A and B are shown apart, each in its own frame.
Chain A
Amino acid sequence: MTASLQVLMHASDDLDDSVRPYRPAGGAGTDHVFKILVTGPFAAGKTSLIQSVSQTPVVSTDVATSGDESVVKALTTVALDFGTYHIDGDGDGTGADDGVDGVQLLLFGTPGQERFWFMTDVLKGEVDVVTFVVDAEAEHTHAEAGAAMRALLKDLRVPLVVAVNRCDDADVATMLARSLGALACEPVVACQLIDPESGRDVVIEALLTLLESMEGPPSGWHAEAAQMVGAW
């Protein structure tokens, strides 16, 4: 897989200057960018979550699955999914700069297969909040999902929201998230990501969790996580 990563790096050098680097859309006031990392095991619903809120066509790296994975679904993400949501800077749609900052939400989805996990290390840089998606009915992925979640967050001091897909019971979703290793202060959302409205609620919950982490002194997940690692 190192070869594909090298292709990723080298391909960016071959692009024209007009198409790189990525510049957020919007007027002069666009200067606030929030980044959500959507990760989780294979076929959990990560791409559907990003598609539910993205205003732009989701940039995906889907390829045909093979072997046992082809039984689950036909296409799978091999590098990343990328979606955006933008609010203009002027805030009134007139195009005039009223002194209000624009806001850009970037959603990065990771591949679910273990052999592509190195892409998570690439994509998690400068992330603001992590949304971990797990399929409630795919029990065979739960053990691996829990290990992956804690491994991801051990060196990331960012809020986490667990989205339990294909689940309508909040209590069941909470119990599943706790069994995976989610802290008691980390929000859990029961969702049906096949419905865009449900995916939007997950993203809102992630942003609310990020907002709470920005308010005031360390509390909630900050305090509990700090107590666990003894870093405060």
Chain B
Amino acid sequence: MVTFAAPIPVLLDRDDRLARPRVTAGQPNTRQLPPPPPGAVPTPGPAPWLRGGNRDYFGVGPLPRDTHSVVGREVADAFELIWPTGEIDEQFLGGPLSEMPAPGAPYPYDDASVSNAAMPVPLPMTVRLKPLTTPPDATEPTWSEPVSDDVVLAIQRAIAAIGSELVVADEPPALPRLPDRSSESDFLGTSRTSVADASDEPAPHSADPTDARRSALKRLIGGLRRR
């Protein structure tokens, strides 16, 4: 029987990880930059916001480019970011350090500095999306002719007739069923003369309200054609 001993987890404080001395083979763990070689071009050095900070990015001491860089701009191509919560983000791609804003500089896109005139303005709605019924008061005409009694009586009769059984439609006659010569898909590609044939076969209730309404309209057209 083989018994495996589980490794004992070691909990280390994240903050202690920065201060903990690192020992790498072949190099001393030092934060002191080595003296530049004779004849080397002096570099501008680290950016002001990095001075005094930990530049031992990878725990192997200063990189060669820190002391032997020949370019004016130092590119932060990768670094490790430790959040206060303890999470570690690696390999941030950075831009030229010389273009980074200085600490305390005003945010260039501050909302207060943005003029409203530069904001896009939506196009004015020139067409109503739905027909509206104008209130009577808004359409009061300038015509001031007195209303005669026959006008009032005619309107009253119309209102009563609309609401009464007088407007109940007569039962449509039983129409002969014509042979089904066209399907729904066939109708769409045919001319208007095929509407009557296409609408002879009433379509069942459709799940799509638009399709059901369209089918009802076709039946209505067909009914008018046969009348």
Instruction: List A residues at the B interface (Cβ < 8 Å).
Output: 1-9, 11-12, 15, 19-22, 24-26, 32, 34, 53, 55-57, 59-64, 78-80, 82, 84-88, 91-93, 98-105, 115, 117-118, 121-122, 124-127, 155-158, 200, 203-204, 207-208, 210-211, 214-215, 229-231
**CB interface residues, B 113-170, toward A, < 8 Å:** 123, 125-129, 131-134, 136, 139-141, 143, 145-148, 150-152, 154-170
Q: Considering the chains assembled together, what is the distance between the CA atoms of A21 and B164 in angstroms?
A: 9
Q: A93-B174, A200-B227 are in contact. Are A210 and B217 (CB under 8 A)?
A: yes
Contacts of B9 in A (CB 8 A): none
Q: Are B219 and A158 in contact (CB under 8 A)?
A: no
Q: Kindly list chain B residues whose C-beta atoms are within 8 Å of the C-beta of A200.
A: 224, 227
- Residue of B155, B221, B225 contacting most chain A CB atoms (<10 Å): B155
Could you tell me the distance between the alpha carbons of A6 and B212 in the complex, rounded to whole angstroms? 38
Number of B positions contacting A (CB below 8 A): 67
- Considering the chains assembled together, what is the distance between the CA atoms of A151 and B183 in angstroms? 40
Q: A1-B147, A56-B168, A78-B155 are in contact. Are A100 and B204 (CB under 8 A)?
A: yes
Assess whether A91 is in contact with B202, with CB atoms less than 8 Å apart: yes
Residues of B within 8 A of A85 (CB): 169, 220, 223-224
Question: Which residues of the partner chain B approach A34 to less than 8 Å between Cβ atoms?
Answer: 216-217, 220
Given that A55-B170, A158-B131, A215-B214 are known contacts, is A115 also in contact with B220, CB under 8 Å in the complex?
no
Q: Which of A20, A103, A157 contacts B217 (CB 8 A)?
A: A103
Q: Are B139 and A118 in contact (CB under 8 A)?
A: yes
Taking a contact as CB atoms closer than 8 A, the residue among B146, B205, B221 that contacts A100 in the complex is B205
Report A195 CB to chain B, min CB distance, Å.
Answer: 14
Which B residue sits closest to A226, measured CB to CB?
B127
If A25-B168, A200-B224, A207-B221 are given as contacts, then 6 extra A-B residue pairs at C-beta distance below 8 Å, sorted by A number, are: A82-B158, A87-B220, A100-B205, A122-B134, A203-B224, A207-B224
Set A12, A61, A101, A215: member contacting B154, Cβ < 8 A: A61
- Chain B hits for A86, CB < 8 A: 169-170, 172
A1 to B151, CA, bound (A): 10
- Kindly report which residue of chain B lies nearest to residue A89, judged by CB atoms: B202
A-B contact pairs, 16 of them (CB 8 A): A2-B141, A4-B151, A7-B152, A7-B156, A11-B155, A25-B167, A60-B158, A61-B157, A80-B158, A82-B158, A105-B220, A117-B141, A118-B134, A204-B224, A204-B225, A211-B218
Instruction: Establish whether residues B172 and A92, one from each chain, have CB atoms under 8 Å apart when the complex forms.
Output: no
Main secondary structure, interface of A, reads mixed
Chain B residue numbers with a CB within 8 Å of A127 are 131
Q: Do the beta carbons of A4 and B152 come within 8 Å of each other?
A: yes
Decide yes or no whether B175 CB sits under 8 A from chain A: yes
Contact between A53 and B224, CB atoms less than 8 A apart: yes
Closest B residue to A29 using CB positions: B205
Contacting residues of chain B (181-196) with chain A, CB-CB under 8 angstroms: 188, 192, 195
Contacts of B217 in A (CB 8 A): 32, 34, 103, 207, 210-211, 214
B84 within 8 A of A: no
* Contact A93 B172, beta carbon cutoff 8 Å: yes
Whether B171 is near chain A, meaning CB under 8 Å from some CB there, is yes
Give chain A residues whose Cβ lies under 8 Å from the Cβ of B125. 231
Q: Does B22 contact A (CB under 8 A)?
A: no
Measured in the bound complex, the distance between the Cα atoms of B153 and A64 in whole Å is 12
Within the complex, the shortest CB–CB distance from A103 to chain B, in Å, comes to 5
Contacts of A204 in B (CB 8 A): 221, 224-225
In the complex, whether B31 has a CB less than 8 A from a CB of chain A is: no
Whether A15 contacts B218 by the Cβ 8 Å rule is no
**B213 at the A/B interface (Cβ < 8 Å)?**
yes
Would A63 and B151 be within 8 Å (CB), given that A124-B133, A231-B125 are in contact? yes
The smallest beta-carbon distance between B203 and chain A, in angstroms, is 7
- Min distance, Cβ A8 to any Cβ of chain B, angstroms: 5
How distant is the Cα of A22 from the Cα of B133 in the complex, in angstroms? 18
A61 to B6, CA, bound (A): 98
In the A-B complex, list the 6 residue pairs whose CB atoms are closest, starting with the nearest.
A86-B169, A93-B174, A91-B202, A125-B133, A19-B163, A32-B216
